[in-house]
Every structure is written in structure tokens, then in C-alpha cells.
């Protein structure tokens, strides 16, 4: 069962999506959010097989929310939905880490296919666009090293970059200092770095710092 978080600031659209997906035996909307901040709060409470995320929302935009999701949950599958042209926004969405982008005027069968593909670890590219630079933006020939970090390693990295001590990180994550130090070592090894200063610089250079 693909459990979905639906993020859109229009209640009528969310209701329509619930009705659409209720007929599918392998997927369901289990949580809803009306804006980016609510989406982040939902993700902090539990995990989802997929996030359906609108681009144009009040407050934090869908693209900004996607960036935040990538920071805290780098493996979370996300599909962006919008009325904006796919040719204009699909490459941006995929470069930011989305697993698909669909205009809201697409057929329901395309959305259902995209959900299954993205939740299964693939990328859904709109018909006629699954080629050339767009495909490279989605899959990437050489994914950046930070995408190999686990969720726990991400938490440790973010706290280190904020200047939190290993002892305080351990207290926050309910881990021993030795375990936190081990995670720090794994992060440094995966990123090919040597110090906390290197971690800060790396995050700034790759747009990963909050």
C-alpha cells in the first residue's frame, strides 16, 4: 500500500484527490497539509510512501518545501503538481530532487502511473519529455555524494553545521557521544571531508545549509 501525504492549499482539490485515489487498491491518502509548514510537521510525525506537493501555495512555496524535504528526508519520494507548464518547471523540480512533475490538467491515469513509478523508486517524466537533459536532471549520471547519506546521518550533519556539540547532539537524538562520533565519521567519509569546517563549507557550496 502506497501511503500518501497530500499537500495543497485548496481543500476542494484535496477532496477530489481523495475520491480519485479511493478507487485504487494499492494507494491511499493518509494525511493532508494545506501548506509547506504543515507538510514538514506531518513528515516529522511519520513516514510516507509518497508526497504529492503543489508548487503554488501561500507561505512556503512547493519548491521551497521540496528543498526542505530534501534536507531532512533525502530519500523521500515527492511528485510536484502544478498548473505551470511542464517544459518550464519539470527540469527545475527534478534537479531539486522530485521524482516527478505533472501539470494538473493531465489525465488521472497519468497521475496514477506517476505515483506507482515514483513510490517504487523511479522517475516519472511527462510524455515527450523523457529524453536528453531532462532525463539527466532526473537521474543524474553521477549523483552528488550527499544523496548517499542516511536519514540519521543527515540529522547529525545538520546539527553539526548548526554548531551543536556532539554531546548535545547525542542528547537530542538519544544517542551516546561515541555513536554520534561514529555517524560524524561516516558523513565525513562519504563526503570526502576531514573536519567540521569542511562540512559547513560543503553545505554552503551545495545549498544545503538552512
SS3 110: helix
2-139 matches 145-205 in fold? no
Domain ranges of the chain: 2-139, 145-205
Q: Does domain 2-139 have CATH number 3.40.50.2300?
A: yes
Please, which pLDDT band fits residue 142 given cuts at 50, 70 and 90? very low
Q: How far is CA 154 from CA 32, 123, 157, in A?
A: 25, 23, 5
Nearest to 5 by CA among 20, 27, 23, 24: 27
Q: What is the pLDDT of residues 1-30, one digit of tens each?
A: 999 999 999 999 999 999 999 889 999 999
Contact (CB, 8 A) for 28 and 22: yes
Q: Could you tell me the fold of the domain covering 145-205?
A: Arc Repressor Mutant, subunit A (1.10.10)
Q: Is the pTM of this model over 0.75?
A: no
Q: What is the pLDDT of residues 151-176, one digit of tens each?
A: 788 889 989 988 999 999 999 889 99
Contact (CB, 8 A) for 35 and 60: yes
67 phi, psi to nearest 5 deg: -60, -45
Q: In the 8-state DSSP scheme, what is residue 147?
A: G
Amino acid at each position: 500500500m502506497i501511503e500518501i501525504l497530500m499537500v495543497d492549499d485548496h481543500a476542494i482539490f484535496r477532496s477530489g484527490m481523495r475520491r480519485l485515489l479511493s478507487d485504487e487498491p494499492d494507494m491511499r491518502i493518509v494525511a493532508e497539509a494545506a501548506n509547506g509548514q504543515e507538510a514538514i510537521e506531518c513528515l516529522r510525525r511519520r513516514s510516507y510512501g509518497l508526497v504529492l506537493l503543489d508548487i503554488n501555495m501561500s507561505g512556503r512555496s512547493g519548491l521551497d518545501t521540496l528543498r526542505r524535504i530534501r534536507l531532512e528526508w533525502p530519500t523521500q519520494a515527492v511528485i510536484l503538481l502544478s498548473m505551470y507548464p511542464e517544459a518550464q518547471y519539470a527540469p527545475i523540480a527534478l534537479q531539486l530532487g522530485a521524482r516527478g512533475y505533472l501539470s494538473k490538467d493531465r489525465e488521472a491515469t497519468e497521475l496514477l502511473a506517476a505515483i506507482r513509478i515514483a513510490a517504487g523508486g523511479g522517475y516519472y517524466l511527462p510524455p515527450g519529455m523523457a529524453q536528453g537533459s531532462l532525463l539527466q536532471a532526473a537521474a543524474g549520471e553521477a549523483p552528488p555524494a550527499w544523496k548517499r547519506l542516511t536519514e540519521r546521518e543527515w540529522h547529525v550533519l545538520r546539527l553539526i553545521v548548526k554548531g551543536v556539540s556532539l554531546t548535545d547532539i547525542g542528547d537530542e537524538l538519544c544517542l551516546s557521544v561515541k555513536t554520534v562520533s561514529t555517524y560524524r565519521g561516516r558523513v565525513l567519509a562519504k563526503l570526502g571531508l576531514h573536519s567540521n569546517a569542511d562540512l559547513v563549507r560543503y553545505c554552503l557550496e551545495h545549498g544545503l545549509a538552512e
